[in-house]
Amino acid sequence: MPFHSIHIDDQNGWRGGEQQAYYLIEGLRARGQQVTIAGRPNSPYVRKTAEIDGVDSISLPLRNEFDLPSAWRLARHVKRHRVDILHAHTSHAHTLALLAQRIGERGRVVVSRRVDFVPRHDFLTRIKYAKPDHIVAISERIAAVLIEFGVEKERLSVVHSGIDPRRLNVEPLERDEFGGQDTEPLIGNVGALVGHKDHQTLIDAMPHVLRALPNARLVIAGEGQLRRNLEQQIENLGLSSAVQLLGYREDVPRLLKSLDLFVMSSSEEGLGTTVLDAMAAGVPVVATDGGGIPEMVRDEETGLLSPVNNPKRLAENVVRMWKERTLRIACANRAMDLVHSEFSVEKMVEGNLAIYREVIRR
C-alpha cells in the first residue's frame, strides 16, 4: 500500500530520537514510500535526513508547540501534497501535528513516545494524548506509563527502537588515547550529561570500583548542562586520574569497541539505544533497572542489573562482571543474539509500517 508520510522533529540537536527517525525514513524510502521531513532550518535532523535519496523537506520555525504559523504552513503542505500520515517524533511536534491535521482536515497523526516519565495531568496535556490516531511507545515500560495515564490500549503499540549493527564494524580506538594500558579495565558510558542519565551515581560508584580494581578507568562520552557539576564531583572525590569526561564524540562506535565494560546508570530511560550499540559491539553491559533498560539488559542473561541511585550495588556488579570472565563472555554473546533478533532496524521499520497501514485502513 503506497502512502505519503511527513516526519516532524523540532530539535536542534542529534540524539537517539533523531537517529531512530533517520532509520525509519531510510527504511520507508527503501520500500518505495513517499516521505517528507519537517524540521528547523539547518538543524542536524533536516541536514542529515534530507540526504536520503528521494526525501523531500520543509523547513519551519517550530518556535514552540503552539506555533500557529508553523502549524498552518505544515497543514498547507499536508493538504497540497495529500499527506496520509503525520508522524511526530518529539513532544512539541506532537502538538503541531495535531494542529496541522485540524487545520488541513487531512491525514492521520502517529506520535512516537520515547521517554518513560508520566505526562503532566493538566487539561491541555490530556487533550493532547487523547487526540492522536496512534501512539508508538519504544518500550513496554513507556506503554505501561501511558496506559496508567489514560491512553486507550487500542491506540497504543510498542515498537522497540532498532539499531544497525553494521555501524559497529569499525576499528577500536587506541587505548592510549585515554591514558590507560591494555591491561587496565576500561569502563565506558555514552549519554548526554543530563539529570535522568544519572552520571552522578556512576561517578559515586567509582571509589568502590577502584578499591577492588585499582587500575580501572571510566570514560564518559557526551555533553550537557551538568558538565560543570560532574567535573566538580570528580575533583571532590579525587577521581581526576580515573574518570574522564570526553565531551561530544562523533566516533562513538570506535569508542564502544575499545571498552572492556559498558555501564548505564540512568534513573529514567525510555529504552536506551546506546546500550544496544554496546551489546552489538560485543561489550558486556552493567546497568540500572530504570525505565525500559530491563527489556534489553536481562539480569544474569544479557548483563547485570542493579537498582537505580545505588552506587554501591552498581560498583559491585561492575567488579563482578570484570572478575567473572565466563559470565562476561556469556552475557556478551547472548546480548549480541538479542540485538539481532529483537532490536533490528528492519523490525522497527516494519512495526511502524504496520501501524501506518492500520490507521489508514481505519
pLDDT at 180: 64
Across the chain, the runs of DSSP E, i.e. the strands, are 4-9, 34-39, 56-59, 85-88, 108-113, 134-137, 156-158, 186-190, 217-221, 243-247, 261-264, 285-288, 304-306
pLDDT at 183: 62
Residues of the chain with pLDDT under 50: none
Quote helix, strand, coil % in the chain, to nearest 5: 45, 20, 35
Say if residues 302 and 279 touch (Cβ distance below 8 Å).
yes
* Helices marked H in 62-189: 68-80, 91-104, 123-130, 140-149
pLDDT at 362: 82
pLDDT at 239: 97
Tally the residues of the chain: 362
How many angstroms separate the CA atoms of 86 and 209, rounded? 48
Q: Provide φ and ψ at 238, rounded to 5°.
A: 65, 35
Cell of residue 329, nine digits: 563472555
Residue among 240, 258, 241 at smallest CA distance from 249: 258
pLDDT at 175: 84
- Write down all domains in the chain, each with its CATH number in brackets: 4-162+344-361 (3.40.50.2000), 165-342 (3.40.50.2000)
pLDDT at 16: 87
Q: Provide φ and ψ at 23, rounded to 5°.
A: -60, -40
How many angstroms separate the CA atoms of 319 and 315, rounded? 6
How many angstroms separate the CA atoms of 102 and 105, rounded? 5
Strands 108-113 and 134-137: parallel
What is the reported pTM? 0.90
pLDDT at 181: 65
Q: Can you say whether the dihedral through the CA atoms of 193, 197, 203, 209 is positive or negative?
A: negative
Contacts 24+ apart (CB under 8 A), 41-44: 43/9, 43/11, 43/12, 44/12, 44/13, 44/14, 44/18
End-to-end CA distance of the chain: 14
At residue 30, the 3 state secondary structure works out as helix
At residue 63, the 3 state secondary structure works out as coil
How far are the Cα atoms of 38, 198, 289, 331 from residue 264, in angstroms, in the given order? Answer: 32, 9, 9, 15
CA–centroid distance for 19 within its chain: 8
How many angstroms separate the CA atoms of 103 and 97, rounded? 10
At residue 221, the 3 state secondary structure works out as strand
How many angstroms separate the CA atoms of 39 and 11, rounded? 8
Residue among 279, 290, 289 at smallest CA distance from 331: 279
Residue among 172, 182, 187 at smallest CA distance from 219: 187
